[in-house]
Amino acid sequence: MPLDALPATDRNAWQPCPYLDTDWVADANGQRVTGVGIDARFDPPACQFWSYPPEPQLTVIVRHMDSPEDAMAVVDWATPIDYTEPANQPAGWNGGRHGGGAVPNRIGAAYSVAKGNTAVTVFTNQDESIKAQLVAEETIKNLQL
């Protein structure tokens, strides 16, 4: 699958994310969840949480790549260095973050970090990157990455 692959889910589905609690996501991102979809092409499955806007309120992607360089390429795609700030949480993870409006043609904020061959990326339709960071940290903790 290409490093810039995005999940494809049905906004009307209710397929619980195997590593994030839906109520926790609603609190962390500040929006009611009206649908949850998973894309099993990703391992673990990518999760998308929907609300009332047309775009997903939250997209969570974990990628296990062939090399640390490939994992960082995922981070660089998700949080292009020309438009973002460094991210280094949780400890041992490195990447980038941006708030809403920072990356042209993109809605909302993102937080993307890599450690070894693994990259974790979170896109939110909210403007605050702290929301994406909290979800990334919870994902890393729950999956014991």
Q: Does residue 73 lie within any of the structural domains?
A: yes
For residue 39, the model assigns a pLDDT of 98
Q: Does residue 14 lie within any of the structural domains?
A: no
For residue 124, the model assigns a pLDDT of 98
For residue 118, the model assigns a pLDDT of 99
| Residue-range definition of the domain harbouring residue 104 | 22-142
For residue 135, the model assigns a pLDDT of 99
Residue reference for tokens 């397929």: 15
For residue 41, the model assigns a pLDDT of 98
Q: Does residue 16 lie within any of the structural domains?
A: no
Q: Does residue 88 lie within any of the structural domains?
A: yes
Do strands 94-98 and 46-50 pair parallel, antiparallel, or not at all (unpaired)? unpaired
Q: Does residue 138 lie within any of the structural domains?
A: yes
- CATH number for 124: 3.40.1000.10
pTM for the full predicted model: 0.96
Q: How many domains does the chain have?
A: 1
Q: Does residue 78 lie within any of the structural domains?
A: yes
Euclidean distance between CA atoms 54 and 49, whole angstroms: 12
Give the mean pLDDT per block of 10 residues along the chain (145 residues).
94 96 98 97 98 96 98 97 95 97 92 99 97 98 98
Q: List Cα–Cα distances, 118 to 2, 3, 23, 98, 144, in angstroms.
A: 15, 12, 26, 20, 12
Q: Does residue 13 lie within any of the structural domains?
A: no
Quick one: tokens of 113? 């970090």
